[in-house]
Structure 1
Amino acid sequence: MELAGAVTLLVVVYVSCLLIALAKKKLSQKGRLPPGPIPLPLVGNFLQIKSSEILKSLLRLHEKYGPVFTVYLGARPVVVLCGHQAVKEALIDRAEDFSGRVTNATLEPTFQGYGVVFANGVCWKQMRRFSLTVLRNFGMGKKTIQDRIEEEAQFLLAEFRKTKEKPIDPTYYFSQAVSNIICSIVFGDRFDYEDKDFQNLMHMMNNSFREMSTGWAQFYDTYASFLKYFPGPHTKVYDLLEEMRLFIAKRVKKNQETFDPSLPRDFIDCFLIQMEKEKDNPLSEFNVKNLELTTLNLFFAGTETVSSTLRYGFLFLVKYPDVQAKAHEEIDRVIGHNRVPNIEDRSQMPYMDAVIHEVQRVSDLIPMDLAHMVIRDTEFRGYLIPKGTEIYPILSTVLNDPTMFKTPDAFNPENFLDENGRFKKNDAFVPFSLGKRVCLGEALARMELFLFFTTILQSFRLKPLLAPEDLDTTPQESGFANIPPFYQISMIPR
């Protein structure tokens, strides 16, 4: 038995060494990747990266290897970019080269390269150009969408008044209010807050955002090449997204039944018009699958990102009561209590603008961005990154870059104010990413955040159930996203 064990050990060592040698030879043929920890065969940098805490692991490696390094998630190499300068050089200075997209393994069964967020090549360019055009035609960045946000904010105030100062979890209040803005664009109308189907949809969306960020989801995204053959919790995300896709499919069918090409009512109608125009083109990207999944992209991103930022924002405002007090003072001085806030007020409210920016910076909602990919062999900082290599621009290291912010490790609106109290822009403010894959709803999200924050704070004082120092702002999950913790507050009329 001892001899057999020794032989087995020798065979394992020999095979491992052979695999490492083959891997190194393959790499030398493909390019000159940035340095990083030596990978093991098949499992890559398993020893250096805790797959349930990928961000923390990458930040530790950043300290050792610098702003640009390579890690192996399983058998696949990933080039990691850290800090404002490295991310800017890639996504801005070399924007086209780094414009590809890689879909998380947990999301791949749903999207399969379709939809504006996860498409590549011609499909992505057409979906993005079309989506931006329709969003602008339906008022993104204009007075018409401001009116919709102001109206929805009043519905939200009415819901808060119904609570009569009792403690509430604001999660679904924010989800429904924010979702109704994007619903008015993609579906042509809003939903009542008591609508059971709408409530169920918000629960599915919130749950899927959280499931995408769990330790298991990160583990699956790392080792999907093995795990995809086995059952497990990774199917939860697919099931939730599939229910949302089916909801959208029903809305598409409803639109088709009452469709009038001369009077487009929403994003779906506009897409149907384009499908009709290109029906004789066998290479057209305007098909039902892209319609459903681009609509799902807009619906999901247009709800969860802004509503999660509002949840973080209200938590920070009760944890830092002096910030809330200063925001109240500026609102009272600039707007008063007798008129509805509007977007033109922002230029006169540097402190409120700074607070919102700091909320976005500290909440660090999508810390590793969505994975990019180089679309051609790319020379970068003396390295040669082969076409198709996955890229992780760590936005968290940009938003917390000590060379760009006064106090990167603390919640402090002064990070966005100059010595005279005027608002100060910062190139490292990248919560919407940057470059060619920047969030296409950025203008809408910025308007929503300002109007919802100012409208609510104009009418209410936020009161926590715990002492401010006892409030915990640690995310409930940190993976694909930093998911805000659950908490309760009371809305006290002012």
Structure 2
Amino acid sequence: MTMYSEYGIDSVWLCTTVFVFLSTYYYMKNRNKRKCLPPGPTGLPLVGYIPFMGNHPPRKYVELAKKYGPVFSVNIGSETYVILNDYESIQEALVKNGHAFSGRPQFYVLRRLTNGYGIIFRDFDEHFKEQRKFTLMTLRGFGVGKRSMEDRITEEIEYFTDLIASYNGKSFNCQTVLSTSVSNVICSIAMGSRFSYDDEVFKEMVQMLNRGFGDKRDAIHLALLTYAPGLRHFPILSGAFKRMINDIENVLAVFRDIIEEHRKTFDIDNTRDYIDEYLKQMELRGEEKSSFKEEQLLQTMRDFFLAGTETTSSTLRWCFLCFAHYPKIQEKVSKEVKQVIGSGVPSMSHKEAMPYTCAFIHEITRHRTLVPLSVPHITTEDVEFRGYKIPKGTPVLPNLYAVNHDPNVFKNPDDFKPERFIDDTGKFVPSNQVVPFSVGPRYCLGEQLAKMELFLFLTNIIQRFEIVPDPEKHLPSFHESIIGMAEAALPYEASFRQR
């Protein structure tokens, strides 16, 4: 007998009453919200449309757009989102009305992970603008887009290719070594040095930061907790939530030690890397009176590693999986590398003379949109948009997958065809409607770095190795993926045979 039955209250009746109350509250709350918003499906109480999204929400949104139009509303968890499903609506919102669409929803889970600091998930306030401007200027000063940055990447690639060669053609899963190598490029920028691939602290840090990309269960858990934070109270997801918090705390502890080591040798007149530049600003501006605080530095470093590592390494894993499935495509890239670069060291100066390789990379970023729903935005003010009055505080999702797979722009968009970006004269012609890094005031800070890394890693690998599937192990489809906040390739093994 329960406590409630002692007082004459039936537990089933109590649960039913609570459910009806919550359902009614949810319905009234969202009905009022949706009065001025574009039409769309509502879903169920508390979880919204999540149970109906299937295994690939961006594709589901494309289907819904056929019924409701390119801009519609949908309940996700307890919030009502506006979904942007074509290039025109995304440009109109994020570029032409960027001031009104550049906020970040302050989800409970993201607040717990970031404490309101960092750049990726920080709201669109003056502190964000100051930090973003400083970071862009500092990264440029340390060589992003310049020769010195290319040297850093090329140096790391040497370590990476030596490690691959040590497998002597045996198949292996390249996910960890790729993430570690790309992370070391970030280390060079942020910390002024690299880690050994055998460093246990470094390996653990990379694994913790990347759990939401390479593991299907963790990816789903992260997405569910982000969009429906109330689910963190359920037994399975509560454990996942605690693990996420623990991982971030452990990573930040490593960063604190690194910052402390920098302080011991810090010279305000001789800054060596991003950390030194940041410490310099903290000293000049005063930590109490400005946005330059140690917690901000810690969370920005987390942003560097989270966004700068897995985006590039996941895209490269898609490249290698594609080569394993389509040897003719691999051979075309290899042939171009031989003709243009030969046995020399690949550099960005070779890029213009390599149209097929450029088209291949462009098609990879279109076909396998890594962050298909971008990072959620939120309106910072009431805004008139497409005949609707979208109130301040409305979350917005740009469906980049829909843009990159628009059949009106890309014929047979589900087919992988690098040739679609090569004209009749053999010249590479990129499409403005391939938008893997988003657009507007919150476009990806690391876009230029990522493009440089993709070209240099890819050409170096293909120059030295042939990528072939292991005949004794299953090679997952190039068209299947792990869907969470990002779209990553399923785990696979392949052989890198020296040419």
TM-score using structure 1 length = 0.91
C-alpha distance in structure 2 between counterparts of 1:21 and 1:355, whole Å: 47
Which of the numbers 256, 264, 271 marks the counterpart of 2:271?
A: 264
1:63 match = 66
Counterparts of 1:21 and 1:478 in 2: how far apart (Å)?
A: 29
The range that moved more, 290-299 or 410-419, is 410-419
Equivalent position of 1:326 in the other structure? 332
Cα distance between partner residues in 2 of 1:140 and 1:459: 26
- Per-residue CA deviations over 1:47-82 (Å, capped at 9, x if unaligned) read 6445x7543443332232121011112332110110
Q: In 2, are the aligned partners of 1:79 and 1:392 still within 8 Å (CA)? A: yes
Q: 1:313 aligns with which of 314, 319, 333?
A: 319
Distance 1:463 1:38, change over 3 A: closer
1:358-387: CA deviations, max 9, x gaps?
112222111110000111101110001101
Amino acid in structure 1 at the alignment position of 2:173:
D
The correspondence for 1:484, drawn from 480, 489, 494, is: 489
1:54–1:218 CA contact under 8 A, matched in 2:
no
The reply to whether residue 191 of structure 1 matches residue 195 of structure 2 is yes
Tell me how far apart the structure 2 counterparts of residues 467 and 404 of structure 1 sit (CA, whole Å).
Answer: 40
**CA distances 1:215-269 after superposition (whole Å, capped 9, x unpaired):** 3333323321464587332222222222111111111111112211111111111
2:426 maps to which residue? Answer: 421
For residues 14 and 266 of structure 2, the distance between their equivalents in structure 1, rounded to whole angstroms, comes to 69
Q: Report the counterpart of residue 205 of structure 1 in structure 2.
A: 209
Is the 1:55–1:479 contact (alpha carbons within 8 Å) kept by the matching residues of 2?
no
- Which range moves more in the overlay, 218-227 or 456-465? 218-227
Deviations along 1:370-424, one digit per CA (max 9) or x if unpaired, are 0001111011100011011100001111111112223311111012212322111
Further displaced range: 66-75 or 340-349: 66-75
Question: What is the one-letter code of the residue matched to 1:202?
Answer: V
Q: Is the counterpart of residue 249 in structure 1 residue 256 in structure 2?
A: yes
Work out whether residues 319 and 468 of structure 1, in 8 Å CA contact, stay in contact via their aligned partners in 2: no
Residue of structure 1 in register with 2:4 after alignment: none
1:143-154 equivalent positions in 2, closer than 5 A: 143-154=147-158
* Post-superposition offset of 1:9: 12
Percent pairwise identity: 36
2:306 is matched with 300
Which residue type is aligned with residue 487 of structure 2? N
Equivalent AA in structure 2 for residue 59 of structure 1: V
CA distance in 2, matches of 1:15, 1:152: 58
In the TM superposition, residue 128 of structure 1 has moved relative to its aligned partner by: 0.4
What residue in structure 1 maps to residue 121 of structure 2?
118
Q: Classify 1:252/1:393 alpha carbon distance in 2 versus 1 (closer, same or farther; 3 Å).
A: same
> What residue identity is the alignment partner of 1:134?
T
Offset of 1:210 from its aligned partner?
4.1
Match of 2:417 in 1: 412
8 Å CA contact 2:213–2:487 kept in 1: the answer is: no
1:178 and 2:178 aligned: no
Are 1:87 and 1:393, in contact at CA under 8 Å, matched by a contact in 2? Answer: yes
Looking at structure 1, the residues matched to 330 and 48 of structure 2 have their Cα atoms a distance apart, in angstroms, of 47
Q: Secondary structure at the match of 1:292?
A: helix
- Shift in CA distance, 20/349, structure 1 to aligned 2, threshold 3 Å: closer
Structure 2 counterparts to residues 38-57 of structure 1, below 5 A: 38=42, 41-45=45-49, 48-49=52-53, 54-57=57-60
> Contact 2:232–2:241 (CA<8 Å) still a contact in 1?
no
Correspondence for 1:73: 76
Aligned to 1:101, what secondary structure does the other structure show?
A: coil
Q: CA 1:385–1:293 in structure 2 vs 1: closer, same or farther (change >3 Å)? A: same
- How far apart are 1:442 and its partner, in Å? 0.7
Give how far 1:333 is off: 0.8
Are 1:318 and 1:468, in contact at CA under 8 Å, matched by a contact in 2?
no
| 2:151 aligned partner, one-letter code | D
Provide Cα deviations, 1:198-219, integer angstroms capped at 9, x if missing partner: 2222222222434696333333
Q: 2:281 matched to which residue of 1?
A: 274
- Deviation, structure 1 residue 473: 2.4
Task: Look up the equivalent residue of 2:281 and give its one-letter code.
Answer: Q
Residue 397 (structure 2) pairs with residue 392 (structure 1): yes
Q: Distance in 2 between matches of 1:155 and 1:49?
A: 42
Alpha carbons of 1:210 and 1:45: their partners in 2 closer, same or farther (altered >3 Å)?
same
Question: Which blocks of at least 5 consecutive residues in structure 2 are unaligned?
Answer: 1-9
Q: Secondary structure at the match of 1:198?
A: helix
Match of 1:356 in 2: 361
Cα contact 2:110–2:121 (8 A) shared by 1: no
How many angstroms apart in 2 are the aligned matches of 1:491 and 1:10?
Answer: 59
**Residue matched to 1:440:** 445
Distance in 1 (alpha carbons) for counterparts of 2:394 and 2:384: 12
Task: State the AA in 2 paired with 1:478.
Answer: I
Letter in 1 for 2:87: H
Deviation of residue 276 (structure 1)? Answer: 0.9
The question of whether the paired residues in 2 share the 8 Å contact of 1:379 and 1:385 is answered with yes
Secondary structure, aligned partner of 2:408: coil
1:53/1:218 contact within 8 Å kept:
no
Q: Which stretches in structure 1 are left out of the alignment for 5+ residues?
A: none
User: Measured at CA, do residues 164 and 36 of structure 1 come closer, stay the same or move farther in structure 2, by a change above 3 Å?
Assistant: same
Amino acid across the alignment from 2:92: E
Q: CA deviation at 1:20?
A: 7.2
Q: Is the 8 A contact 1:107 1:238 kept in 2?
A: no
Measured in 2, the distance between the counterparts of 1:178 and 1:41 equals: 42
Q: Helix, strand or coil: the match of 1:436?
A: helix
Aligned counterpart in structure 2 of residue 92 of structure 1, from 92, 95, 101: 95
Q: Which residue of the partner structure matches residue 105 of structure 2?
A: 102
Question: 2:141 maps to which residue?
Answer: 137
Q: Give 3-state SS (helix, strand or coil) of 1:72's partner.
A: strand
Cα distance per residue 1:317-365 (max 9 Å; x no partner): 111111101111111111112x101101100000000111111222211
C-alpha displacement at 1:107, in angstroms?
A: 3.1
- Cα distance in 1, alignment partners of residues 22 and 149 from structure 2: 60
Are the structure 2 counterparts of residues 388 and 12 from structure 1 closer, same or farther at C-alpha, using a change threshold of 3 Å?
Answer: closer
Aligned-pair CA distance for 1:27: 3.0
Relative to 1, partners in 2 of residues 1:295 and 1:11: Cα closer, same or farther, differing over 3 Å?
closer
Contact 1:476 1:482 in 2 (8 A): yes
Matching residue's letter, 2:470? L
SS at match of 1:265: coil
TM-score (norm 2): 0.90
Pairwise mapping of residues 163-174 of structure 1 onto structure 2 (< 5 A)? 163-174=167-178
Count of aligned positions: 486
1:453 aligned partner: 458
Superposition deviation, residue 14 in structure 1: 8.8
SS for the counterpart of 1:240 is helix
Q: Which amino acid aligns with 2:36?
A: R
Work out the CA distance in 1 between the residues paired with 2:244 and 2:328.
40
The 1:36–1:243 alpha-carbon spacing in structure 2 relative to 1, beyond 3 Å, is same
> What letter matches 2:253 in structure 1?
L
Relative to structure 1, the CA distance from residue 276 to residue 24 in structure 2 (aligned partners, 3 Å threshold; closer, same or farther) is closer
Per-residue CA deviations over 1:260-285 (Å, capped at 9, x if unaligned) read 11111111111111111121753x11
